[in-house]
Amino acid sequence: MARLPVSEEDLVARFGPHLNEMPKGGWNAGIEVDREVKTHCCFCGQQCGIILKVKDEEVVGFEPWYEFPFNEGKLCPKGVKRYLQNAHDDRLTEPLERDPSDPSGFRPVDWDRAMDRVASEIRRIQAEHGPDSFAVLSGVSLSNEKSYLMGKFARLGIGTANLDYNGRLCMVSAGKANMAALGMDRASNPWSDIPLADVVFIAGSNVAECSPITTSYVWRARDRGAKLIVADPRVTPLARTADLFLGLRPGTDSALMGTILHVLIERDLLDHDFIENHTVGFEEAAAAVAGYTPAWGAEVTGVPAGRIEQAAEWWGSAATGMLLHARGIEHHTKGVENVLSCINLGLATGKFGKPGCGVTTITGQGNGQGGREHGHKCDQLPGNRSISNPEHREFIASVWGCDESEIPGEGVSAQEIMNQIHDGTIKGLLTICFNPVVSLPDTNFTKEALGRLEHYAAIDFFLNETAFHADVVLPGSLHEEDEGTSTSVEGRVIKLNPAKAPPGDARLDWEIICDLADRLGQGRYFPYRSTEEIFEELRVASAGSKADYAGITWDRIEDEMGVFWPCPSEDHPGTPRLYEGARFAFPDGKARFNAVSYRPPAEVVDQEYPVWLTTGRVISQYLSGTQTRRIKPLVDQYPEPLCEIHPRLAESLGIADGDVVRVSSRRGSMEAPAKVVATIRPDTVFIPYHWAGRKAANQLTQRALDPVSKIPEFKVSAVRVERVSGPRSGSVDQRDMDLKTGAEQ
């Protein structure tokens, strides 16, 4: 396939000038500051090193941190602009209590009253409806220490089984598949392995916009002559430079990967020694794809048979290769199977445990890696231990100093918690660092559910659209105000350093949680005086586990620019590359092939809803947008959701670029300007999901879950697209959610 050139102008038009043009010396370069703090970006899982500049107790700018090895000073537009959020007018600085008579919906209230009310409502609801009728939803923009604390707080502070986290919408399909096939859940490689790969295969990841720093690693591989293969229904910016583009129909990845495995077997592009000595289950996996001929694969995926064969040839004959995947293959009712089908390709060709070889997920949220290890998942205890395993329970009880019977059992997952709120089983909710009104599928359902809660308390630094439904809002801390560790996309544990104190009466998240535990009569389990003390306990709790941090200290992290777990002792160097010597994390050391048969998505197109909808991200906005919709230069870059649509589909529907279109599904409908682009399949439309209210893409998506990982199928819905009107007179729909009150204007 011909390479499409990407001009500097194209890049600037799409990403803004800052991707390539870091102002020398950083933003606000000339100004005198009181101090500079080496820390990391608060946004995505790349966790770029950054130096924050602090003046008069505000973060006023940044400097690139060139020495930090992962990003070497590079930052994307979000990292460059993140400092603009800390002094935002909307910053919550005092606790709030719902007050329908106040125009804002809330009145300020003192900490004692707010906290006592939350504590007494938790105990009242549990007394009336049982311990699990109060649920907790947590998030992994939180540090490792806070993730650990939330798991312990829900189990011992509140005493509920129903705790889950926003990584349920993000990392869990990869997590379940990694554990099942490889025995551990972490990137198989440090990113320095990417440039050593002869083939880089990217499946369902918009690398240039969502893991921007990874782009430079991929380009370094290409500079060495590596082949780049991209599988995506959209020709993403990175895909425009690919050697082979596999423009598959949404929801068909396991068919694509299964067909590639079929071709590898047919053409004997297998690593027989590796399969025999280091894996089990190949026969079953091979049998599952026996009928997956290129012709069949082409029919199901919409990718020409020749291209699938080419992908198999390149992947199978290359000495080294890395397959990187993200939510494009994971946000599915078969997200786990999709990941397993990718891992099968790595195992079949022996691409594990060597430089430049691996199959790995690109994490999403800032602490998407660490946050999925320390026990705030509904089925998990710290160290990625199982809450249903008696030995694991005993061990954690010994660390926590409680009786094993005090630790509740397995609870339900994030979407299931919302389902149980909707059906009245769960009556009370505490959220921290999670905005389900924007981020869960089927917005109308989520809002209905929240309206049924007897008590809802939210901890955040902005009044996000979910917190707007709360009875009590507790002002917590921003990333740059707290101290702790985070684990990056590579599995590198890094140190977050505080640049300033929380403003006004806002408090550090962990102090709020420990105070609440105290008011619940459980303070003895939460005696911490600093987050470092929480980390020290986390080290002990993770010792000997599948996510072993025992040998990592804060000092080591600072000295060594991060430490890769597993790191079982202080004299252990850490483990950048997993599975060296092809030893996998099972007692027999062998990886598991998994038989994967293709099955269709939960909802398929029909006459009434004839177009596939897929959802995702744009570079300048982050997740539910609570933070980035408040940063003006990022808003200016992409102010509202646009509906990407192919010229042929647009023409058949009488739609021109900029026309307002209505997109409707069985759940709801929304309007957005059309962005007519030739870079999307003609049977598919794409809408980014970072906005709330009438601009929320999740009005259209469905609550269907992967049966194993319980991730929602954000990447496939059936919709109808209609033209509403020509372009709006003003270029942007100014009607929006009022960011202060959550009210639709």
Residue 576 carries which side chain, given as an amino acid letter? P
Residue list 204-233, contact with ligand SF4 (CB under 6 A):
212-213
Judged by CB under 6 A, the stretch of 249-257, 487-495, 518-526, 729-737 that binds ligand MGD is 249-257
Q: Out of ligand MGD, Mo ion, ligand SF4, none, which partner does residue 350 contact, by CB within 5 to 8 A per kind? A: none
One residue of 19, 60, 76, 269 binding ligand SF4 per CB under 6 A? 76
Q: Does 253 bind ligand MGD (CB under 6 A)?
A: yes
Residue list 585-644, contact with ligand MGD (CB under 6 A):
614-617, 619, 621-624, 626-627
In the complex, minimum distance from the CB of residue 213 to ligand SF4, in angstroms, rounded to a whole number: 5
In the complex, minimum distance from the CB of residue 717 to ligand SF4, in angstroms, rounded to a whole number: 27
Range 388-394 contact pairs with CB under 8 angstroms and sequence separation of 24 or more: none
Rounded CA-CA distance 363/167 in Å is 10
User: 118 CB contacts (<8 Å, ≥6 apart)?
Assistant: 430, 455, 457, 472, 474, 516, 519
In the complex, minimum distance from the CB of residue 46 to ligand SF4, in angstroms, rounded to a whole number: 4
In the complex, minimum distance from the CB of residue 116 to ligand SF4, in angstroms, rounded to a whole number: 38
Q: Which residues pair with 108 in a beta bridge?
A: 96
In the complex, minimum distance from the CB of residue 574 to ligand SF4, in angstroms, rounded to a whole number: 21
In the complex, minimum distance from the CB of residue 169 to ligand MGD, in angstroms, rounded to a whole number: 4
Contact 564, 574 (CB under 8 A): yes
Rounded CA-CA distance 580/566 in Å is 13
Query: What number of H helices and E strands is found in the chain?
Result: 23, 28
Cα-atom radius of gyration of the chain, to the nearest Å?
25
Give the residue ranges of DSSP H helices in 590-713: 632-637, 647-652
One residue of 18, 78, 646, 667 binding ligand SF4 per CB under 6 A? 78
Query: Closer CB to ligand MGD, residue 575 or residue 624?
Result: 624
One residue of 353, 476, 641, 673 binding ligand MGD per CB under 6 A? 476
Rounded CA-CA distance 396/367 in Å is 22
Joined together, the tokens standing for residue 379 give 């089925």
In the complex, minimum distance from the CB of residue 75 to ligand SF4, in angstroms, rounded to a whole number: 4
In the complex, minimum distance from the CB of residue 31 to Mo ion, in angstroms, rounded to a whole number: 35
In the complex, minimum distance from the CB of residue 21 to ligand SF4, in angstroms, rounded to a whole number: 15
Q: Out of ligand SF4, ligand MGD, Mo ion, none, which partner does residue 487 contact, by CB within 5 to 8 A per kind? A: none
Q: Does 238 bind ligand SF4 (CB under 6 A)?
A: no
Query: Closer CB to ligand MGD, residue 460 or residue 640?
Result: 460
Query: Closer CB to ligand SF4, residue 356 or residue 366?
Result: 366
Contact 285, 257 (CB under 8 A): no
Q: Does 196 bind ligand SF4 (CB under 6 A)?
A: no
Q: Does 43 bind ligand SF4 (CB under 6 A)?
A: yes
Q: Out of ligand SF4, ligand MGD, Mo ion, none, which partner does residue 697 contact, by CB within 5 to 8 A per kind? A: ligand MGD
One residue of 18, 27, 39, 41 binding ligand SF4 per CB under 6 A? 41
Alpha-carbon distance values, 657 to 175, 436, 720, 725 (Å): 40, 32, 18, 11
Q: Does 221 bind ligand MGD (CB under 6 A)?
A: no
Q: Could you say which DSSP state residue 202 is in?
A: E
One residue of 44, 298, 437, 650 binding ligand SF4 per CB under 6 A? 44
Joined together, the tokens standing for residue 7 give 């001009």
Q: Print burial letters for 205-224: b (CB count within 10 Å at least 16), e (below 16).
A: bbbbbbbbbbbebbbbbbee
Query: Closer CB to ligand MGD, residue 460 or residue 548?
Result: 460
In the complex, minimum distance from the CB of residue 78 to ligand SF4, in angstroms, rounded to a whole number: 4
Q: Which residues pair with 358 in a beta bridge?
A: 322
Which strands, in side-by-side order, build the sheet including 35-40? 35-40, 49-55, 58-64
Q: Which residues pair with 361 in a beta bridge?
A: 325
Joined together, the tokens standing for residue 594 give 């998994």
In the complex, minimum distance from the CB of residue 48 to ligand SF4, in angstroms, rounded to a whole number: 3
At 229, give phi and psi (nearest 5°).
-115, 135
Judged by CB under 5 A, the stretch of 362-370, 371-379, 389-397, 445-453 that binds Mo ion is 362-370
Q: Print burial letters for 47-79: b (CB count within 10 Å at least 16), e (below 16).
A: bbbbbbbbeeebbbbbbbbeebebbebbbbbbb
Give the number of residues in contact with ligand SF4, rule: CB under 6 A: 12
- Which of 586, 576, 589 shows the shortest CA–CA distance to 183? 586
Give the residue ranges of DSSP H helices in 224-334: 253-266, 272-278, 282-288, 294-301, 305-317, 327-330
Q: Does 364 bind Mo ion (CB under 5 A)?
A: yes
In the complex, minimum distance from the CB of residue 612 to ligand MGD, in angstroms, rounded to a whole number: 8
One residue of 26, 79, 358, 616 binding ligand SF4 per CB under 6 A? 79
- Which of 429, 448, 426 shows the shortest CA–CA distance to 667? 448
Residue list 724-743, contact with Mo ion (CB under 5 A):
none
Q: Does 328 bind ligand MGD (CB under 6 A)?
A: yes
Q: Does 362 bind ligand SF4 (CB under 6 A)?
A: no
Give the number of residues in contact with Mo ion, rule: CB under 5 A: 2
Rounded CA-CA distance 453/466 in Å is 12
Rounded CA-CA distance 327/614 in Å is 11
Q: Does 170 bind Mo ion (CB under 5 A)?
A: yes
Residue list 418-437, contact with ligand MGD (CB under 6 A):
432-436
- Which of 597, 132, 144 shows the shortest CA–CA distance to 372? 144
Residue list 49-88, contact with ligand MGD (CB under 6 A):
none
Q: Does 105 bind ligand MGD (CB under 6 A)?
A: no
Rounded CA-CA distance 572/659 in Å is 60
- Which of 201, 265, 267 shows the shortest CA–CA distance to 238? 201
Residue list 15-54, contact with ligand MGD (CB under 6 A):
44
Which strands, in side-by-side order, build the sheet including 428-432? 106-108, 96-98, 472-475, 455-460, 428-432, 134-138, 163-165
Interface residue list for Mo ion (CB under 5 A):
170, 364
Interface residue list for ligand MGD (CB under 6 A):
44, 139, 141-142, 166, 169-170, 203-206, 209-211, 231-234, 236, 248, 250-251, 253, 326-329, 331, 364-365, 432-436, 439, 459-462, 464, 476-477, 479, 509, 614-617, 619, 621-624, 626-627, 686, 689, 697-698, 701, 714-715
Interface residue list for ligand SF4 (CB under 6 A):
41, 43-44, 46-48, 75-76, 78-79, 212-213
